[in-house]
Structure 1
Amino acid sequence: MQREAAEKRPRARIETLADLIFGLSLSVGSVAAIASSPTTPAEIGSHILAFMFTFLLLITAWLIYTGFMSVLPVETRTIVFLNVALLLLVTLIPYLLNSVEFISPSVPAADASAIKDVASLLFALDFTGILVIMAVFAHVLSLEEKKLVAPELARLFRNGRNRMVVLAALTAVSIAPLFGQVLILGVPARLFLWYVPLISYWVGRAVSPESRTYKISRAE
């Protein structure tokens, strides 16, 4: 009954706004890729990979967010504040990633390197913030005494909360300057740490869908 009631809950206006912001963020990333003309064949592949990462990150965040919001009441002051903070962080994603990847050739090499370092650091903070907020949402839903979801779903949300806390800690570690200086295959180690949350979500969704969709399939 709790689940049915949650599914029938009218969409809050902030959820509609969130869909718009996620969509616009995806569009901004696409426009930035189009506006930045590659100067070498290698840059074409680099720009495509950068856009794919932005796309996957935003889509993954949106899927998790909509799953939470479908059952999470957004009327409370704290939840509204966290929603606003999350959407602000989401809007910064394409800007920060574009600052890492799409820098004008006219910018001096030293300045370009400094811009990339700062943008990379800020993105790590941004990504960490998103995961922390998602963990808070999952925590609220996992509290059985609030009875927001059925007990078996509360367990899934607790697991999701714990997983996101670990992933947030991992992205927070990537803030350390060392991970921006150490290169793996010519790429800062920091970037490889950013891939882990995406891999965790999509592999988990393929292997155990209910652990990522937070929906339990029932045999008819």
Structure 2
Amino acid sequence: MSIQPLPSERRPRPRIETLADLVFGLSLSIGAIGLIASSPTTQAEINSHIFAFGFTFLVLITAWIIYTTYMSVLPGETKAVTFLNVALLLLVAIVPYLLNSVELVNPSLTPSEASAVGAYASTLFGLDLTGIMLILAAFAHVISIEERNLVAPELARLFRNGRNRLAILSLATAVSIAPQFWEWTLFGVPTRLYIWYLPLISYWVGRLVRPQSRTYRIS
């Protein structure tokens, strides 16, 4: 059954959202350009580069889908929301740089130096991903406050669930920055990288199994 939107849910599109679309798009483009600049020398490197870009793409597109869903009903003119938007866009903008630093090894470095750079870059990305999810959780929290009447009461519960889910996942990615998760490997890959897949699995599997819990239809 379709839920009729409240009057406050329909509003002009703030310019910050237009800027956000641009930043997300540029981040995807920069991720691809970074791979082009690093010419592969083997088939394995080609596969690794494609895999690296695929992960970057999924992280950014998932964050963008959640962001646009929230911003469709979130008042963008408040100081707090504007500040969180700016912080989110900064974190999004540096995603491709950090992930390329993790995935692409500088051939001029020794194995120990390359590992140290990868460990540091992956730690920063773990913090970056945690920050993105915490900001999205903050957006969901604002929307879920029933007193604000931003969405119908039936939808407020879904946004609260989304807030809680993002908070738990951000805790997992925050824990992943512990040095042990870079040192411990599974099939030759640091376990830290596997933890980064949890938010993607949570969103896309949830969207497939229970689409109404991820799409938040308001019209």
Identity of aligned residues (%): 66
How far off is 1:103 after superposition?
2.7
Q: Call closer, same or farther: CA 1:6–1:204 in 2, change over 3 Å.
A: farther
How far does the alpha carbon of each residue in 1:72-96 deviate from its partner, in whole angstroms, 9 at most, with x for none? 0011111100000000000010000
RMSD across aligned C-alpha pairs, in angstroms? 1.5
SS in structure 2 of the partner of residue 106 of structure 1: coil
Aligned equivalent of 1:106, options 81, 105, 108: 108
Tell me the amino acid that sits aligned with residue 26 of structure 1. L
Unaligned runs of 5+ in 2: none
User: Is 1:2–1:149's contact at 8 Å kept on the other side of the alignment?
Assistant: no
How far does the alpha carbon of each residue in 1:91-114 deviate from its partner, in whole angstroms, 9 at most, with x for none? 010000001112321233332221
Distance 1:92 1:214 in 2: 28
Check if 1:140 corresponds to 2:137.
Answer: no
Alignment match, 1:191: 193
User: Is 1:68–1:138's contact at 8 Å kept on the other side of the alignment?
Assistant: yes
The number of equivalent residue pairs is 217
How far does the alpha carbon of each residue in 1:101-143 deviate from its partner, in whole angstroms, 9 at most, with x for none? 1232123333222111100000000000001001000000010
Alignment match, 2:122: 120
Distance 1:176 1:109 in 2: 21
Alignment match, 1:162: 164
User: Is 2:6–2:150's contact at 8 Å kept on the other side of the alignment?
Assistant: no
How far off is 1:153 after superposition?
0.6
Tell me the amino acid that sits aligned with residue 168 of structure 2. V
How far does the alpha carbon of each residue in 1:48-67 deviate from its partner, in whole angstroms, 9 at most, with x for none? 11100000000000000000
Alignment match, 1:182: 184
Tell me the amino acid that sits aligned with residue 107 of structure 1. L
Tell me the amino acid that sits aligned with residue 156 of structure 2. A
Relative CO higher for 1 or 2, CA cutoff 8 Å, sep ≥ 6? 2
Distance 1:195 1:210 in 2: 22
Check if 1:55 corresponds to 2:57.
Answer: yes
Alignment match, 2:34: 32
How far off is 1:43 after superposition?
1.2
SS in structure 2 of the partner of residue 103 of structure 1: coil
Distance 2:96 2:74 in 1: 27
Alignment match, 2:88: 86
Distance 2:8 2:97 in 1: 35
TM-score (norm 1): 0.95
SS in structure 2 of the partner of residue 3 of structure 1: coil
User: Is 1:38–1:44's contact at 8 Å kept on the other side of the alignment?
Assistant: yes
Aligned equivalent of 1:23, options 22, 25, 28: 25
User: Is 1:2–1:148's contact at 8 Å kept on the other side of the alignment?
Assistant: no
Distance 2:64 2:7 in 1: 22
Deviating more after overlay: 204-213 vs 129-138: 204-213
Tell me the amino acid that sits aligned with residue 160 of structure 1. G
Alignment match, 1:200: 202
Unaligned runs of 5+ in 1: none
TM-score (norm 2): 0.95
